[in-house]
Structure 1
């Protein structure tokens, strides 16, 4: 039986950052999509976490700047990927940042923008993207589409070992789907403690995100429904958008 419970709303806790990293760092199904659709030049990844995607892009020869609101995630990215040339990991809020330079590419992977459930927050983020994207550059968004299916309920997530202490945590995930919001409740339990976390994810339609992009001075070039670049349909599992700075290019 766990001796105490810690409820967390973000990834500020170092243990939670390590558990997240242990579970998701091996995920690379989206890598080929970014390699195909990024233009030559530097990549700014927002909500970069511990560097799962950015580090892989750096290994492939890209210069990458990663920005995340979680100090624990940035500490982990700096520690794990320090030997990689061409990587920079910055602490910052993707709704309000000014890096003083332009980028050829900006990426917000793994539903990162969707965790900004309030439209003013998403608009603020996209305005920052517009100010940091060079003319003709690419913004790539990976979102959960409004039509995404799935059922409510509790899922057993197996076991995850803390790479620092060796403690084994059993994970359960409870998902509640509403028309526009998916609520995800995580629970990690070891012999010594229980960690819980609740996240809210906004499901977006193509029309919604297109309007928010255009308000920020950005324009959708292409839409895809999965990481294999298949066309977007009503049954697609992902809403992947490649956007740019020029309305003429998007026409």
Structure 2
């Protein structure tokens, strides 16, 4: 296992990632950190903890940075108008989230994350992972961006590289009207009580997915809180008693990895 830090996936300074590479990689897991699209860092220890368990399985781990604190000024004129319409659509759908979690800062992070997926898939970042299936593990804001990347707005679909699967922890689908059959399999892991992202917002996505026959599963644990869900995933057990990371490795297996 070797670490390749500070690899660029785009021209901007923040468009960088760290890659932890096993000897013979057969799949990729991207970790997208949380922080409400205003803070957070790819340098947190989560990726290292993931790699300790995933690298022996031949799964490369990527910790990615994305734009923080993006505003309408960071989008082109056409995207600014689209963003306003999409924010209105999200609010009408019944989201309880603060608007900043589905506004311009979210859009900037989404566009960056899509660019990172494309760079990894094509081998532009590292030839060792070219063409490998990609699963995104997104925490909080990272999970919000990951879910929208799996089911992007039609106006951006051609500009965004989709992952092959998503596990979103303590997150929400902020554009549930974009959920469509045929997308990547998605799992949402949420606690029964979460003061940052309401379980009701997670249930909104699950209910919409069920109505539209979309491959999205909501798992509600018996552990309250926001960050404790990630801790339980990596170091604890799943609700069915298996190791928590089995929720992630099951998704990786569904991407076609033998």
Q: TM-score, normalising length from structure 2?
A: 0.33
| More helix per residue | 2
| More strand per residue | 1
Higher Cα radius of gyration: 1
Q: Whose relative contact order is higher, 1 or 2, with alpha carbons under 8 Å and at least 6 apart?
A: 1
